[in-house]
Amino acid sequence: MKTFNLMINSINDVKDFVNIVSKYDFDVDLTSGRYVVDAKSIMGIFSLNLSKPIKVEVHSDDCDQFLAELERFMVD
């Protein structure tokens, strides 16, 4: 499992993010505060506080291509 933080700043970023995540078979969870949602769910993402970094948990160890595609969203 891999964990990192990301920022999603606009509606188009949410669409782009979900399109990328949906291409992969493994599960990806987003955590904001005490809420955890499926990263493939647009409605779930909009229920989170998008003004703060969101924790991402990738449930796969073979996700290098996935991480490369999400690099523009990543923050420290």
For residue range 13-65, list pLDDT tens digits in order.
Answer: 999 999 999 999 999 999 999 999 999 999 999 999 999 999 999 999 999 99
pTM tops 0.85, yes or no = yes
Nearest-10 Cα torsion for 73, 35, 40, 25: 100
- CATH value at residue 21: 3.30.1340.10
* Structural domain containing residue 36: 2-75
Residue 34 near residue 66 (C-beta atoms within 8 A): no
3-18 pLDDT per residue, tens: 999 999 999 999 999 9
Residue 1 has pLDDT above 90, yes or no: yes
> What's the pLDDT band for 76 if we cut at 50, 70, 90?
confident
Domain count along the chain: 1
